[in-house]
Structure 1
């Protein structure tokens, strides 16, 4: 279960064998079945998750009671409500498993401990958070400059696995449209 994470961590960060064993010690394996709430809104996020397999979504509930999906992962990778996790603040977001999922998780306290003890872990963590910021900036730009069809085509191009594994209602919300609009776009593309 640790192979993907350790392979990712060893790509250019110089982890020693001792640091690798410490990572194994602090990252706890967990599994969640489909449609399980992993972290609830209204609480401080407890963990940073590394997704070994499966799909998660991050969503909030708007003033009308609608769930708005703001992030869907493509495994493998890290996942949480980042700013709330980093700052230990109450999150407005919920994390839910969209499919059966296998994860490795680490608490903020343990992550901070690892970072303070290991330059390689510090460098790796900075890189992960920079990637998250870059991803969010790109996503924000796409939502503001691309039309609905272009956003869907971009998602198909960048993350085709999401299209095959995540329900259309979550994909539509993630792309900033209604499921009916996405269905029309999909029919147009197929024809």
Structure 2
């Protein structure tokens, strides 16, 4: 079987060498992310995923928060310099997407459907994972590189304060994106016999 989707998905890699040489406007990228997230599935059509798309100084602010936070945690100067250099690669991009879960909806569903209450938090994680994968692939289709970072929950309070986000929006990941200044390295795969089973 032929799959254009799989060809595009193969382009979706973790790109760490990012630049700001993206021809698409912030509005075009915002529309791409918005449409992609809205078309991503969620259990009970709960639509718990929230996305904040930041550009310019606002995007830089995310990575300054990360740097400032880790400076207080990473006490070894040499180790912090490596951390700072890594953060600089994210700051060098064109923008940043914050992915969040609206916990208000999760708790409402837990109360509305008590038989499934233990599952809604997990299902919200599945929803945000699907949305991240879809956006990442849509960016790759447009030759925009990205990676997925997880500095939450260390930066949660500062991010909420910096961008005036609702308290019920729980930060789950940060996605820096931009022009691809250097391709991803080769990807290793587990032996397929360890991963897949065909049962007829």
Report if TM-score (shorter chain) is over 0.5: no
**Structure with the greater relative contact order (CA < 8 A, sep ≥ 6): 1 or 2?**
2
Q: TM-score, normalised to structure 1's length?
A: 0.29
Q: TM-score, normalised to structure 2's length?
A: 0.29
Larger radius of gyration: 2
